[in-house]
Amino acid sequence: MKVLVVGGGGREHALCWKLKRSLSVSEVVCAPGNPGIARDARCAPVAAEDIEGLVQLARDEMPRLVVVGPEAPLVMGLADRLRAEGFPVYGPSRAAAELEGNKAFAKALMAEAGVPTARFETHTDADAAESCIRKWGAPIVVKAAGLAAGKGVIVAHDVETAVSAARDMLAGNTFGSAGHKVVIEEFLEGEEASCLFIVSGDTIIPLASSQDHKALLDGDRGPNTGGMGAYSPAPCVTPAIEEEVLERIAHPTIAALRARGIDFVGTLYAGIMLTEHGPKTLEFNVRFGDPECQPLMTRLRSDLGELLLAAAEGRLAGKELEWDTRAALCVVVASHGYPGAFEKGQVIKGLEQVEAAGTIVFHAGTAEHDGQLVNAGGRVLGVTALGDSVRDAQQTVYQALRRLDWPGAYYRKDIGHRAIEREA
C-alpha cells in the first residue's frame, strides 16, 4: 500500500524509515519531508500545517493510509478533514487532540477520570496565578496551556521565577496565545519516563518503555527543550509499573474521552513521573514522541504499516508487537544556541562516516542549499544505535559522533546516564 506521512522532523523520518521497511508498504510519500527523509520517501512540498494543501495532496496521491506525525495539524483538525474525504487516518481528531493542545482540558479530564496527576489550578488572571504560586511556594511548575513546541513548561525553584513566568505567559510575551491560560502545578519528585500506546477504540496496546532527556545540559540541567536524546527500554519502568500505567492512566483517560463522545485513534503518549506514591501523569501528547520515536522504531520488529492501518480501520484488537531485545539510544544534535537564537545555513559534513560507524542518522532540522546539507532548525539530527545494553548503544553513538564535521553542532555527552547507572 501507499502511505502518506505528514511532517518533516526526526519523528517523521523515523516513521518513514520504518514504513519503508514494512512488507505491507509499497511506497511512502512525506509532506513536506526533509533531505534525510528523501532517502526513505518521496517528498511533497506541502507544509504540515497547510490543511487544505494536505487534503488536496491526499486526493492527488490516493494513499491507503495517512499517518499524521506532528501535534499542530492534529489540533487544527487535519485528521477530521481527511476522514471526511474517506481516507483511513492514524492520528486523533481535533477533539481528541485537545489532550495535548489544551493542558487545562487534559488536567480537567484527568481529575474527572481519577487519573493520578499533580495538584493543579488553571488561571487566566495574572494576579490569581501569582496568589496561587505564593500560597503553594516553590519549587513549582508553570505551564502554558496551549501548544508551545515542547518548551511551554517552566520548573521554577523559587517563587519570583514562577511569578515572572506566569505573568510573561499570560501577557503573551513568552508563548503568544498558547500562554493566555496557564496551569500551575505542584512539583513532583521522582524519575520521568515516557509510556506510549497505540489506541483504537477500546483497544490499547503499549509500546516499549522509553525515557528522554528534556534539559539542554549534561546532568539534566538548564532550560527545557523539545528533547536532547532518548532510549528504550527504560529500566525504571518495570513490568508492574507498565501495568499500573495502562490500567490507572491509559484506560481511564480513553474511557473518559469516550464518555464525552470522543473516539481516540492514534498514539497516546503519557509523560509519567515515578513518585514514591506511584506513577503520576505529567502530561499527555497525542503523537509519537520526538526523540522517543527514533529508538522505538529502531527496536520495533513488527510491520508498522499493517499496525497503523489496523488502528485506523478499527481492527487493532488481537495485534501483538514484537521488539528487538537490544536497547536503542538516540542522541539529538542541535544547532549551537538552541533553544534560544541560533545561526542557520551551516554546512554539515561527515554523516556517511557517522552512519558507517554503526548508527542510523534521522534528520530533523536539515535542508539543502547549493547541493550541500545545512542546518535549518534547532534540533537537527538524531543519531541512533542499537546495543546489547544502553551503555553499548551509547558508546556506539558517541564514537560515531566523533566523525561528524559540523563545528556548529551541540549535543549532550551523557544521554542514557540513568539507565546506565541502573545497569551498573
pLDDT given at position 174:
65
Q: What phi-psi label fits residue 363: left (phi over 0), alpha (psi between -120 and 50 degrees) or beta?
A: beta
Residue recorded with cell 505491507 = 24
CATH match of 2-93 with 1.10.150.20: no
Asked if residue 228 has pLDDT above 90, the reply is yes
Please state, in angstroms and rounded to a whole number, the distance separating the CA atoms of residues 64 and 359.
31
Residues listed for the chain: 424
Cell of 211: 525515557
Q: What is the share, in percent, of the chain residues with pLDDT greater than 70?
A: 97
Domain-by-domain residue ranges, the chain?
A: 2-93, 119-186, 189-312, 327-423
Task: Write down the mean pLDDT value for the chain.
Answer: 95
pLDDT given at position 210:
97
Q: What angle do CA 145, 363, 155 make, to 5 degrees?
A: 30
Q: What is the share, in percent, of the chain residues with pLDDT greater than 90?
A: 86
Asked if residue 180 has pLDDT above 90, the reply is no
* pLDDT one-digit tens code per residue, 233-281: 999 999 999 999 999 999 999 999 999 999 999 999 999 999 999 999 9
Per-residue pLDDT band for 179 (boundaries 50, 70, 90) equals low
Give domain 189-312's CATH number out of 2.60.120.260, 3.10.580.10, 3.30.470.20, 3.30.70.120.
3.30.470.20
Query: How far apart, in Å, are the Cα atoms of 316 and each of 22, 41, 82, 201, 203?
Result: 17, 26, 20, 9, 6
Tell me the backbone φ, ψ of residue 396, rounded to 5 degrees. -60, -45
Q: Which residues of 322-337 are buried (b: 16+ CB within 10 A; e: fewer)?
A: eeeebbbbbbbbbbee
Cell of 113: 477520570
Please state, in angstroms and rounded to a whole number, the distance separating the CA atoms of residues 378 and 226.
9
* pLDDT one-digit tens code per residue, 94-142: 999 999 998 889 999 999 999 999 998 899 888 899 889 999 988 998 9
Asked if residue 176 has pLDDT above 80, the reply is no
Query: How far apart, in Å, are the Cα atoms of 149 and each of 118, 201, 229, 400, 411?
Result: 22, 28, 16, 29, 19
Please state, in angstroms and rounded to a whole number, the distance separating the CA atoms of residues 297 and 292.
9
| CATH number assigned to the domain covering 327-423 | 3.90.600.10
The reported pTM is: 0.94
Residue 154: half-sphere exposure toward Cβ, Cα within 13 Å: 26
Of residues 294, 274, 290, the one with CA closest to residue 282? 274
Give mean pLDDT, residues 62-77: 97
| CATH number assigned to the domain covering 119-186 | 3.30.1490.20
Per-residue pLDDT band for 194 (boundaries 50, 70, 90) equals very high
Q: Which residues does 345 contact at the CB level (< 8 Å), separation at least 6?
A: 369, 374, 375, 376
Q: Which residues does 339 contact at the CB level (< 8 Å), separation at least 6?
A: 151, 216, 223, 224, 225, 226, 378
